[in-house]
Amino acid sequence: MVNKDFYRTMPKIDLHRHLEGSIRLSTLSEIASQQLPELVPDLVKRVKILADDPRTSGNFLSKFLTLRKFFISKEIIQRMVSECLEDAAADHLIYLELRFSANALSQGNPQKLEQVMSWVVESALLASQQFSLPISLLLLLNRHEALDFAARMVDCAVQFQSYGLLGLDLAGDEAQFSGLPFRQLLNKARNKGFLLTIHAGEWGGAENVAEAINILGANRIGHGVRIMEDDNVVELARKTQIPIEICLTSNIKSGIFDDIHQHPLPEMLRMGLNITINSDDPQILNINLSDELLLLNKVFDLSSEQISKLMGNAIDSSFLDPEKKAQLHENYSHKYQSWNSQS
Ligand SMILES: [Zn+2]
Protein backbone atom coordinates (compact mmCIF):
# COMPACT_ATOMS: atom_id res chain seq x y z
CA MET A 1 0.00 0.00 0.00
CA VAL A 2 1.26 3.46 -0.86
CA ASN A 3 1.70 5.44 2.34
CA LYS A 4 4.31 7.64 3.92
CA ASP A 5 6.50 4.67 4.81
CA PHE A 6 6.48 3.58 1.20
CA TYR A 7 8.34 6.73 0.11
CA ARG A 8 10.51 6.94 3.22
CA THR A 9 12.76 4.18 1.94
CA MET A 10 12.91 5.46 -1.65
CA PRO A 11 16.30 7.12 -2.36
CA LYS A 12 15.86 10.89 -2.57
CA ILE A 13 17.67 14.11 -3.44
CA ASP A 14 16.81 17.50 -1.94
CA LEU A 15 18.24 20.68 -3.46
CA HIS A 16 16.20 23.22 -1.49
CA ARG A 17 16.40 22.86 2.28
CA HIS A 18 17.20 25.58 4.83
CA LEU A 19 19.32 24.67 7.83
CA GLU A 20 17.46 27.16 10.02
CA GLY A 21 14.14 25.56 9.04
CA SER A 22 15.42 22.06 9.83
CA ILE A 23 16.09 22.27 13.56
CA ARG A 24 14.40 19.65 15.70
CA LEU A 25 11.73 20.90 18.07
CA SER A 26 13.20 18.68 20.82
CA THR A 27 16.55 20.44 20.44
CA LEU A 28 14.98 23.90 20.49
CA SER A 29 12.96 22.93 23.51
CA GLU A 30 16.03 21.69 25.39
CA ILE A 31 18.04 24.84 24.58
CA ALA A 32 15.13 27.10 25.49
CA SER A 33 14.62 25.50 28.88
CA GLN A 34 18.34 25.74 29.67
CA GLN A 35 19.29 29.06 28.14
CA LEU A 36 16.30 30.97 26.75
CA PRO A 37 13.48 30.54 29.31
CA GLU A 38 11.55 33.49 27.88
CA LEU A 39 10.99 31.41 24.71
CA VAL A 40 9.59 28.36 26.52
CA PRO A 41 5.94 29.53 26.56
CA ASP A 42 4.45 29.17 23.07
CA LEU A 43 7.67 27.68 21.70
CA VAL A 44 5.85 25.42 19.26
CA LYS A 45 3.76 28.30 17.91
CA ARG A 46 6.85 30.47 17.57
CA VAL A 47 8.81 27.98 15.44
CA LYS A 48 6.25 25.92 13.53
CA ILE A 49 3.38 26.80 11.21
CA LEU A 50 0.28 25.49 12.93
CA ALA A 51 -3.17 24.86 11.52
CA ASP A 52 -4.58 28.16 12.82
CA ASP A 53 -1.61 30.30 11.71
CA PRO A 54 -2.24 32.97 9.07
CA ARG A 55 -1.03 31.71 5.69
CA THR A 56 1.24 34.64 4.88
CA SER A 57 4.89 35.27 4.04
CA GLY A 58 5.11 37.50 7.13
CA ASN A 59 4.02 34.66 9.38
CA PHE A 60 6.46 32.29 7.69
CA LEU A 61 9.39 34.72 8.07
CA SER A 62 8.49 35.40 11.72
CA LYS A 63 9.47 31.81 12.59
CA PHE A 64 13.02 32.54 11.42
CA LEU A 65 13.19 35.59 13.68
CA THR A 66 12.56 33.37 16.70
CA LEU A 67 14.96 30.69 15.46
CA ARG A 68 17.72 33.30 15.13
CA LYS A 69 17.73 33.73 18.91
CA PHE A 70 18.93 30.13 19.33
CA PHE A 71 22.23 30.50 17.48
CA ILE A 72 24.24 31.30 20.58
CA SER A 73 27.23 28.96 20.55
CA LYS A 74 29.46 26.79 18.43
CA GLU A 75 28.11 23.64 20.13
CA ILE A 76 24.51 24.54 19.35
CA ILE A 77 25.17 25.38 15.70
CA GLN A 78 27.22 22.22 15.17
CA ARG A 79 24.57 20.10 16.84
CA MET A 80 21.87 21.61 14.60
CA VAL A 81 23.88 20.86 11.45
CA SER A 82 24.58 17.31 12.57
CA GLU A 83 20.96 16.57 13.50
CA CYS A 84 19.74 18.07 10.23
CA LEU A 85 21.91 15.59 8.32
CA GLU A 86 20.91 12.73 10.59
CA ASP A 87 17.23 13.45 9.90
CA ALA A 88 17.86 13.74 6.15
CA ALA A 89 19.71 10.41 6.12
CA ALA A 90 16.89 8.78 8.12
CA ASP A 91 14.49 9.94 5.38
CA HIS A 92 16.76 8.13 2.87
CA LEU A 93 18.19 11.19 1.19
CA ILE A 94 21.28 10.24 -0.77
CA TYR A 95 22.33 13.81 -1.58
CA LEU A 96 21.44 17.14 0.01
CA GLU A 97 22.15 20.76 -0.86
CA LEU A 98 21.71 22.60 2.41
CA ARG A 99 21.47 26.37 2.50
CA PHE A 100 22.25 28.49 5.54
CA SER A 101 22.20 32.15 6.49
CA ALA A 102 25.56 33.12 7.97
CA ASN A 103 23.91 36.41 8.88
CA ALA A 104 21.33 34.60 11.03
CA LEU A 105 23.84 32.18 12.53
CA SER A 106 26.20 35.01 13.48
CA GLN A 107 23.22 37.01 14.77
CA GLY A 108 24.26 39.83 12.46
CA ASN A 109 27.77 40.14 13.87
CA PRO A 110 30.26 40.65 11.01
CA GLN A 111 33.16 39.69 13.31
CA LYS A 112 31.69 36.21 13.68
CA LEU A 113 30.99 35.42 10.02
CA GLU A 114 34.15 33.48 9.29
CA GLN A 115 33.88 31.51 12.51
CA VAL A 116 30.24 30.62 11.95
CA MET A 117 30.90 29.48 8.36
CA SER A 118 33.78 27.31 9.51
CA TRP A 119 31.53 25.69 12.18
CA VAL A 120 28.86 24.88 9.59
CA VAL A 121 31.36 23.57 7.04
CA GLU A 122 33.26 21.46 9.60
CA SER A 123 30.17 19.92 11.15
CA ALA A 124 28.60 19.28 7.74
CA LEU A 125 31.73 17.42 6.58
CA LEU A 126 31.80 15.37 9.75
CA ALA A 127 28.08 14.54 9.74
CA SER A 128 28.20 13.78 6.01
CA GLN A 129 30.71 11.01 6.76
CA GLN A 130 28.96 9.85 9.91
CA PHE A 131 25.58 9.47 8.19
CA SER A 132 26.96 8.51 4.74
CA LEU A 133 25.10 11.41 3.17
CA PRO A 134 26.93 13.46 0.52
CA ILE A 135 26.13 17.13 0.96
CA SER A 136 26.91 20.53 -0.53
CA LEU A 137 26.34 23.86 1.14
CA LEU A 138 24.83 27.06 -0.21
CA LEU A 139 25.26 30.44 1.45
CA LEU A 140 22.01 32.38 1.70
CA LEU A 141 21.82 36.13 1.14
CA ASN A 142 18.57 37.91 1.96
CA ARG A 143 17.29 40.63 -0.36
CA HIS A 144 15.92 42.53 2.60
CA GLU A 145 19.26 42.61 4.40
CA ALA A 146 22.18 44.98 3.85
CA LEU A 147 24.17 44.60 0.65
CA ASP A 148 27.51 45.40 2.31
CA PHE A 149 26.95 42.61 4.84
CA ALA A 150 26.15 40.24 1.96
CA ALA A 151 29.37 41.29 0.20
CA ARG A 152 31.28 40.51 3.34
CA MET A 153 29.68 37.05 3.53
CA VAL A 154 30.60 36.29 -0.09
CA ASP A 155 34.23 37.35 0.49
CA CYS A 156 34.34 35.11 3.50
CA ALA A 157 32.71 32.17 1.71
CA VAL A 158 35.44 31.92 -0.92
CA GLN A 159 37.82 30.15 1.46
CA PHE A 160 35.26 27.37 2.03
CA GLN A 161 34.60 26.59 -1.64
CA SER A 162 36.90 23.60 -1.72
CA TYR A 163 35.08 22.22 1.36
CA GLY A 164 31.70 21.94 -0.34
CA LEU A 165 30.34 25.49 -0.17
CA LEU A 166 29.40 25.51 -3.84
CA GLY A 167 26.77 28.14 -4.30
CA LEU A 168 24.73 31.11 -3.20
CA ASP A 169 21.01 31.55 -2.70
CA LEU A 170 19.35 34.95 -3.01
CA ALA A 171 16.32 34.67 -0.74
CA GLY A 172 14.18 36.92 1.46
CA ASP A 173 11.25 39.22 0.89
CA GLU A 174 10.96 39.33 -2.91
CA ALA A 175 7.57 41.04 -2.78
CA GLN A 176 9.09 44.22 -1.38
CA PHE A 177 12.79 44.03 -2.27
CA SER A 178 14.22 43.89 -5.78
CA GLY A 179 17.16 41.59 -6.50
CA LEU A 180 18.76 44.21 -8.76
CA PRO A 181 20.98 45.84 -6.09
CA PHE A 182 22.65 42.42 -5.73
CA ARG A 183 23.46 42.12 -9.44
CA GLN A 184 27.10 43.21 -9.21
CA LEU A 185 27.80 41.11 -6.13
CA LEU A 186 26.27 38.03 -7.75
CA ASN A 187 28.37 38.62 -10.87
CA LYS A 188 31.47 38.82 -8.73
CA ALA A 189 30.50 35.62 -6.93
CA ARG A 190 29.91 33.84 -10.23
CA ASN A 191 33.37 34.89 -11.41
CA LYS A 192 34.75 33.29 -8.28
CA GLY A 193 33.08 30.02 -9.25
CA PHE A 194 29.89 30.04 -7.16
CA LEU A 195 26.66 28.77 -8.71
CA LEU A 196 23.45 30.57 -8.00
CA THR A 197 19.88 29.76 -7.06
CA ILE A 198 17.33 32.55 -6.55
CA HIS A 199 14.06 32.49 -4.62
CA ALA A 200 11.73 34.08 -7.17
CA GLY A 201 8.11 33.80 -8.23
CA GLU A 202 7.11 32.70 -4.74
CA TRP A 203 5.95 35.79 -2.85
CA GLY A 204 6.62 38.00 -5.89
CA GLY A 205 5.33 37.75 -9.45
CA ALA A 206 6.55 36.09 -12.63
CA GLU A 207 8.64 39.15 -13.49
CA ASN A 208 11.00 38.24 -10.64
CA VAL A 209 11.70 34.90 -12.32
CA ALA A 210 12.48 36.66 -15.61
CA GLU A 211 14.79 39.04 -13.71
CA ALA A 212 16.52 36.13 -11.97
CA ILE A 213 17.17 34.35 -15.28
CA ASN A 214 17.90 37.26 -17.60
CA ILE A 215 19.61 39.77 -15.33
CA LEU A 216 20.85 38.07 -12.17
CA GLY A 217 22.16 34.94 -13.92
CA ALA A 218 20.40 32.29 -11.83
CA ASN A 219 21.37 28.66 -12.42
CA ARG A 220 18.19 27.51 -10.65
CA ILE A 221 14.97 29.08 -9.41
CA GLY A 222 13.67 28.55 -5.88
CA HIS A 223 9.88 27.97 -6.04
CA GLY A 224 9.08 29.84 -9.29
CA VAL A 225 5.44 28.75 -9.12
CA ARG A 226 4.08 32.17 -10.02
CA ILE A 227 5.60 32.03 -13.50
CA MET A 228 2.26 30.51 -14.46
CA GLU A 229 0.88 34.08 -14.30
CA ASP A 230 2.84 35.05 -17.42
CA ASP A 231 3.06 32.91 -20.57
CA ASN A 232 6.24 34.67 -21.71
CA VAL A 233 8.07 33.72 -18.53
CA VAL A 234 6.81 30.15 -18.78
CA GLU A 235 8.23 30.05 -22.30
CA LEU A 236 11.54 31.50 -21.03
CA ALA A 237 11.77 28.81 -18.35
CA ARG A 238 10.82 26.11 -20.83
CA LYS A 239 13.31 27.26 -23.44
CA THR A 240 16.20 27.65 -21.00
CA GLN A 241 15.18 24.50 -19.06
CA ILE A 242 16.25 26.30 -15.90
CA PRO A 243 15.66 23.92 -12.97
CA ILE A 244 12.78 24.94 -10.72
CA GLU A 245 12.91 23.91 -7.07
CA ILE A 246 9.29 23.13 -6.19
CA CYS A 247 8.34 22.95 -2.48
CA LEU A 248 4.67 21.91 -2.36
CA THR A 249 3.70 22.13 1.32
CA SER A 250 5.68 25.32 1.78
CA ASN A 251 3.64 27.03 -0.97
CA ILE A 252 0.40 26.11 0.79
CA LYS A 253 1.51 27.03 4.31
CA SER A 254 2.86 30.39 3.17
CA GLY A 255 -0.44 31.13 1.45
CA ILE A 256 0.51 31.20 -2.23
CA PHE A 257 -2.27 28.69 -2.93
CA ASP A 258 -5.26 27.95 -0.74
CA ASP A 259 -4.88 24.22 -0.95
CA ILE A 260 -2.72 21.60 -2.58
CA HIS A 261 -5.25 20.92 -5.34
CA GLN A 262 -4.68 24.45 -6.64
CA HIS A 263 -0.93 23.98 -6.95
CA PRO A 264 0.18 24.37 -10.60
CA LEU A 265 2.65 21.46 -10.50
CA PRO A 266 0.72 19.27 -12.99
CA GLU A 267 0.47 22.16 -15.42
CA MET A 268 4.18 22.95 -14.98
CA LEU A 269 5.04 19.33 -15.81
CA ARG A 270 2.74 19.38 -18.83
CA MET A 271 4.41 22.54 -20.11
CA GLY A 272 7.77 20.73 -20.12
CA LEU A 273 9.39 22.76 -17.34
CA ASN A 274 12.43 21.33 -15.55
CA ILE A 275 10.98 20.40 -12.17
CA THR A 276 12.63 19.18 -8.95
CA ILE A 277 10.83 18.38 -5.67
CA ASN A 278 12.17 19.70 -2.37
CA SER A 279 11.29 20.20 1.29
CA ASP A 280 12.23 23.88 2.03
CA ASP A 281 11.87 23.91 5.84
CA PRO A 282 11.01 20.44 7.16
CA GLN A 283 10.73 21.37 10.83
CA ILE A 284 8.83 24.64 10.42
CA LEU A 285 6.42 22.91 8.02
CA ASN A 286 6.34 19.66 9.99
CA ILE A 287 7.16 17.50 6.97
CA ASN A 288 9.99 15.57 5.42
CA LEU A 289 10.67 14.88 1.76
CA SER A 290 8.77 11.57 1.91
CA ASP A 291 5.58 13.51 2.69
CA GLU A 292 6.09 15.58 -0.43
CA LEU A 293 6.51 12.45 -2.56
CA LEU A 294 3.34 11.05 -1.07
CA LEU A 295 1.55 14.24 -2.21
CA LEU A 296 2.91 13.69 -5.73
CA ASN A 297 1.32 10.28 -5.74
CA LYS A 298 -1.90 10.89 -3.80
CA VAL A 299 -2.82 14.35 -5.08
CA PHE A 300 -1.22 14.47 -8.52
CA ASP A 301 -1.31 10.78 -9.33
CA LEU A 302 2.36 10.51 -10.25
CA SER A 303 3.77 6.98 -10.50
CA SER A 304 7.01 5.88 -8.87
CA GLU A 305 8.65 6.06 -12.31
CA GLN A 306 7.51 9.64 -12.78
CA ILE A 307 8.71 10.57 -9.28
CA SER A 308 12.01 8.86 -9.98
CA LYS A 309 12.38 10.96 -13.11
CA LEU A 310 12.07 14.09 -10.93
CA MET A 311 14.85 12.75 -8.70
CA GLY A 312 16.96 12.34 -11.84
CA ASN A 313 16.22 15.99 -12.71
CA ALA A 314 17.47 16.94 -9.25
CA ILE A 315 20.77 15.14 -9.83
CA ASP A 316 21.22 16.89 -13.19
CA SER A 317 20.29 20.23 -11.59
CA SER A 318 22.59 19.89 -8.60
CA PHE A 319 25.66 22.08 -8.24
CA LEU A 320 27.98 19.06 -8.36
CA ASP A 321 30.63 18.74 -11.07
CA PRO A 322 29.93 16.35 -13.96
CA GLU A 323 31.97 13.50 -12.48
CA LYS A 324 30.15 13.64 -9.15
CA LYS A 325 26.79 13.90 -10.91
CA ALA A 326 27.61 10.72 -12.85
CA GLN A 327 28.52 8.96 -9.58
CA LEU A 328 25.31 10.17 -7.97
CA HIS A 329 23.24 8.95 -10.93
CA GLU A 330 24.88 5.55 -10.59
CA ASN A 331 24.33 5.37 -6.85
CA TYR A 332 20.74 6.57 -7.25
CA SER A 333 19.88 4.10 -9.96
CA HIS A 334 21.37 1.20 -7.97
CA LYS A 335 19.38 2.18 -4.85
CA TYR A 336 16.19 2.91 -6.79
CA GLN A 337 16.23 -0.45 -8.53
CA SER A 338 16.72 -2.24 -5.26
CA TRP A 339 13.89 -0.21 -3.64
CA ASN A 340 11.61 -0.76 -6.62
CA SER A 341 12.16 -4.51 -6.64
CA GLN A 342 11.23 -4.72 -2.94
CA SER A 343 8.30 -2.34 -2.97
ZN1 LIG B 1 13.36 28.45 0.59
Q: Are 7 and 343 in contact (CB under 8 A)?
A: no
Which residues is 140 bridged to in the sheet? 169
Q: What is the pLDDT of residue 3?
A: 78
CA distance 67 to 212: 28
Question: For residue 341, how far is its CA from the centre of ligand 1 (angstroms)?
Answer: 34
Q: 248 near 295, Cβ under 8 Å?
A: yes
User: How many CA within 13 A on the CB side of residue 43?
Assistant: 19
pLDDT of residue 233: 98
Q: How much is the pTM?
A: 0.97
CA distance 311 to 332: 9
φ, ψ at 258 (rounded to 5°): -70, -40
**Cα(277) to centroid(ligand 1), Å:** 12
Per-residue confidence band for 291, with pLDDT thresholds at 50, 70 and 90: very high
Q: How confident is the model at residue 343 (pLDDT cuts 50, 70, 90)?
A: confident
| Tens-place pLDDT, residues 166-191 | 999 999 999 999 999 999 999 999 99
Compute, in angstroms, the gap from residue 159 CA to the centroid of ligand 1: 25
Q: Residues 6 or more apart from 160 whose CB is under 8 A from it?
A: 117, 118, 121, 137
| pLDDT beyond 70 at 1 | no
Backbone angle region of 28, left / alpha / beta, with phi > 0 → left and psi within -120 to 50 → alpha: alpha
Catalytic residue list contains 83:
no
C-alpha span between 89 and 127 (Å, rounded): 10
pLDDT at 5: 86
β partners of residue 17? 98, 280
pLDDT tens digits for range 237-286:
999 999 999 999 999 999 999 999 999 999 999 999 999 999 999 999 99
Average pLDDT, stretch 37-49? 95
- CATH fold for domain 4-342: TIM Barrel (3.20.20)
Compute CA distances 199 → 49, 177, 221, whole Å: 20, 12, 6
* Res 28 pLDDT > 90: yes
**342 Cα to the center of ligand 1, angstroms:** 33
From the candidates 174, 202, 245, 292, which is the catalytic residue? 202
**Alpha-carbon gap, residue 90 to 161, rounded angstroms:** 27
Tens of pLDDT along 188-234? 999 999 999 999 999 999 999 999 999 999 999 999 999 999 999 99
State the distance from the centre of ligand 1 to the C-alpha of 6, rounded, in angstroms: 26
What distance in Å separates the CA atoms of residue 177 and residue 142, rounded to the nearest whole number?
9
Cβ proximity of 94 and 335 under 8 Å: yes
pLDDT at 342 over 90: no
- Does position 100 have pLDDT exceeding 90, yes or no? yes
Query: How far is Cα 83 from Cα 88, in angstroms, rounded to an integer?
Result: 8
Query: What distance in angstroms lies between residue 1's CA and the mean position of ligand 1's atoms?
Result: 31
Confidence category of residue 323, pLDDT binned at 50, 70, 90: very high
Q: How far is 256 from 260, CA to CA, in rounded Å?
A: 10
CA of 337 to the centre of ligand 1 (A): 30
Strand partners, 18: 99
34 exposed, middle or buried (CB, 10 Å; 0-12, 13-18, 19+)?
A: exposed
- CA 16 – ligand 1 centroid, Å: 6
Distance CA 319, CA 15 (A): 9
pLDDT exceeds cutoff 90 at 335: yes
Q: How far is the CA of 18 from the centre of ligand 1 (A)?
A: 6
Q: Report the pLDDT averaged over residues 50-62.
A: 91
Mean pLDDT of the chain: 96
CA–CA distance, 278 with 222 (Å, rounded to integer): 10
Distance in Å, CA 13 to ligand 1 centroid: 16
Q: Are 70 and 28 in contact (CB under 8 A)?
A: yes
